Amino acid sequence: MKVERQALTEKVSVLKSEGFDYLVKITAVDYVSHVDAIYIMRNMDKNVDEVLEVEMDPSDLWLPTIIKHHASADWYERELSEMFGIEIKGRHARRLLLEKWDGKGSPMRKNFVWGEPYPKS
């Protein structure tokens, strides 16, 4: 299901009240022309998944936080902002989650420039 990012928080809240109260995963895909954020929610009683897709322009990457509705979104959102350079609005900026480097760029974007391999001695 395609969702506008302005309506995302409300959509997640409505879905939660309909029983989709288990967040399986938040991820993103860089299609070069646009970046899609993917939210996978689950209704455990009915055993169905709902996939929300939020399309973003690569020059304007931001998402509203859904941490109010799902505590489990915390680490997923941090991973997303680190790997894709997506700014998550409405929550505190936190230190990097996975990367222990100070390199530039967002590793999971397609325009990421790979570093030089270690020289052979």
Partner 1 sequence: MSITRVNIGPIHPSTHGVLRLVVDLEGDTIENIEPHIGFLHRGVEKLVETRMYMQCPPYMEKIDYVAPMSVDELYVAAVEKAMGVEVSEKAQYVRVVLLELQRIASHLFWVGSICNDLGQLFTTFMWGFRDRDMVLHLLEIATGQRMFYVNMRLGGLSRDLPEGFGEKTLELMDYLEKRLKEYENLIEKNPIFVDRMKGIGRLSRGDAKEFGVTGHVMRASGLDYDVRSERPYYVYRKLNFRKQYHLSGDNLARYEVRIMEIKESIRLVREALAGMPEGSAAGMPIKLITPNAKNRIVMESRENPRGEEMIYLVADPQKPYRLSIRSPTFINLAALNHMARGSRLADLFSIMGTLDLVLADVDR
Contact residue for partner 1 among 5, 9, 27, 65 (CB under 8 A): 27
Residues 31-90 binding partner 1 (CB under 8 A) are 38, 40, 44, 47, 49, 51, 70-72, 74-75
Q: Which is nearer to partner 1, 6 or 71 (CB)?
A: 71
Q: Residue 49 Cβ, how far from partner 1 at the closest point, in Å?
A: 8
Residue 62 β-bridge partners: 87
Q: What ranges in the chain are assigned the alpha helix state H? A: 8-17, 73-84
Residues 6+ apart with CB under 8 A from 36: 28, 29, 53, 54, 55, 56
The span from the CA of 61 to the CA of 40, in Å, is: 20
Q: Is 99 in the site for partner 1 (CB under 8 A)?
A: yes
Report the residue from 9, 24, 56, 58 that binds partner 1 according to the rule CB under 8 A: 24
CA distance 99 to 51: 27
Comparing CB distances to partner 1, the nearer of 10 and 99 is 99
Token duo for residue 109: 């974007």
* Residues of the shown chain interacting with partner 1 in the complex, contacts defined by CB under 8 A: 21-25, 27, 29-30, 38, 40, 44, 47, 49, 51, 70-72, 74-75, 96-100, 107-108, 112
